[in-house]
Amino acid sequence: MDMTTEQNKAHEARETLKALSQEVYDLVEAGTFNSVNDAIMETLYKNGTHREFKSYRQWQRDGFQVKKGEKAFMLWARPKMWSF
């Protein structure tokens, strides 16, 4: 894969994450959640199937292996308050 394709994927992921962040903006501003990441996880990602969120390394430490083809949930690299 060339860099242009990688850059496009990163750009698309960033734009998607910005849109998700906009959806939870009011909840963060109202103080319901401490960060955009917390609000996204709790309101948009958690459901009956997805209840526990960990990094790749945390899953490995707990004895699990991520299966080929599985997709990650998008969150900001560092928990952010609100800044666009």
The single residue listed with the structure tokens 């903006």 is 25
pLDDT at position 69 is 86
pLDDT of residue 20: 94
User: Is the model's pLDDT at 58 over the cut of 60?
Assistant: yes
Q: Degrees (nearest 5) of the Cα angle 45, 50, 52?
A: 100
The pLDDT of residue 32 is: 96
Mean pLDDT on 24-29: 95
Mean pLDDT of 44-68: 87
With a pLDDT cut of 90, the percent of the chain lying above it is 44
Q: Is the pLDDT of residue 83 over 70?
A: no
pLDDT > 80? residue 82: no
Distance in angstroms between the alpha carbons of the first and the last residue of the chain: 30
